Amino acid sequence: MALLEVNDLTVKFYTQEGVVTAVDDLSYRIERGEKFGVVGESGAGKSVTALSLMRLIESPGRIESGEILFKGEDLLEMSEEEIRDVRGNEIAMIFQDAQTALNPVYTVGEQIAEAVRHHLDYDDEEARERTIQLLDTVGIPEAESRYSDYPHEFSGGMQQRAVIAMALSCDPDLLLCDEPTTALDVTIEAQILEELESLADEFDTAIQLITHDLGVVAEVCDRVMVMYAGSPVEKAPVEELYYDPKHPYTVGLMSSIPRVGDRRERLQTIPGTMPDLVELPPGCSFHPRCPYAEDVCTKREPPLLNPETGRDASGTDAERAAACLEYTGELQEGLDYEVEIR
């Protein structure tokens, strides 16, 4: 049994401007201990997906349909009380901004100890010891004396480490990380990602890592799902995706990674922007930006390339699949990039 299995998840937001389909018929699975990346531009539905797993979608948002099986049980069927038990205990979440996760009026140690007491039923002394151990594990030097520091006495990187320690305090089976290092500078980012990866191994925690940065995914993940406008466009083991991307959008994302030795100014971006989610373009929603779009693309949706089972395009519309694969093949030939895997 997969640790997490999301089937046909659809999430909509009923806004003044209309109904926004933030996540559209999304399916994926994460195995125990697996590091799974979710990549896409902002508006792709990455964060909404993670919040759905925690059942934290708030009005005007609504989970319309689908199931979220966690260890075989549908999170969407659980009572408020049951889901609260899962949240934080079995599924924990780390956000981009560590500052919002830390309460400025309590010391870092007290906050983590509180989480430890809450989740593990430890007494004060045990919780303190466990906290110091956790701070040490996530790479905070002199953890014992830093225990009584307030969040503002920590650097940005240290704050994010503390948040990771807090998330790990309950020994979750799944850790949702939403752009956990976006706010940090590159050196600190690399350190924290490395730390996160080895902690996940040590604690045998699966990670769902959300990012707009394929470089970050390369560093940490085993498998990756690329999302566009609420739908997955490609899923693959990370190396396959890097060396042989199939979907034009993935190829576009790849070419927006700086090449080895290149500086930022040569960075390409995919022309255009994410479509209006209230009114998605018909057919393949990427067609207004796709350099290989043909008439047929405006009429029919392409099948998901590269489903879990392998590299073949699935779906009944084999013709469409073949066409899209052929286009992407051409696209790759015309594209001379090297991918830097840090």
Output the smallest distance, CB 245 to ligand SF4, in A.
Answer: 12
Output the smallest distance, CB 47 to Mg ion, in A.
Answer: 3
CA distance 297 to 323: 10
What 3-state DSSP class applies to 280? coil
Q: Which is nearer to Mg ion, 111 or 208 (CB)?
A: 208
Q: Which is nearer to ligand SF4, 147 or 249 (CB)?
A: 249
Q: Which of 43, 230, 245, 248 binds ligand SF4 (CB under 6 A)?
A: 248
- Residues 42-61 within binding reach of Mg ion (CB under 5 A): 47
Q: Is 228 in the site for ligand SF4 (CB under 6 A)?
A: no
Q: Which amino acid does the sequence have at 197?
A: E
Window of 43-51, 115-123, 238-246, 292-300 that interacts with ligand SF4 by CB under 6 A: 292-300
Helix (H) or strand (E) holding 165: helix 156-168
Question: Contact, 289 vs 270, CB < 8 A?
Answer: yes
CB burial string 275-309: b at 16+ within 10 A, e below: bebeebbebbbbbebbebbeebbeeeebbbbbbee
Q: Is 48 in the site for ligand SF4 (CB under 6 A)?
A: no
Q: Is 227 in the site for ligand SF4 (CB under 6 A)?
A: no
Output the smallest distance, CB 66 to ligand SF4, in A.
Answer: 24
Q: Which is nearer to ligand SF4, 116 or 297 (CB)?
A: 297
DSSP string, 186-236: HHHHHHHHHHHHHHHHHHT-EEEEEES-HHHHHHH-SEEEEEETTEEEEEE
Q: Is 292 in the site for ligand SF4 (CB under 6 A)?
A: yes
Q: Which is nearer to ligand SF4, 293 or 304 (CB)?
A: 293
Q: Is 174 in the site for ligand SF4 (CB under 6 A)?
A: no
In which residue are the tokens 């396959």 written?
240
Tokens of 256: 């927006």
Rg, Å, the chain Cα set: 21
Q: How many residues bind ligand SF4 (CB under 6 A)?
A: 12
Cα angle 40, 177, 306 (rounded to 5 degrees) comes to: 40
Question: Which of Mg ion, ligand SF4, none does 286 bind, CB closer than 5 to 8 A by kind?
Answer: ligand SF4
Q: Which is nearer to Mg ion, 178 or 219 (CB)?
A: 178
Residues forming contacts to ligand SF4 in the complex (CB under 6 A) are 247-248, 284, 286-287, 290, 292-293, 297, 302, 324, 327
Residues forming contacts to Mg ion in the complex (CB under 5 A) are 47
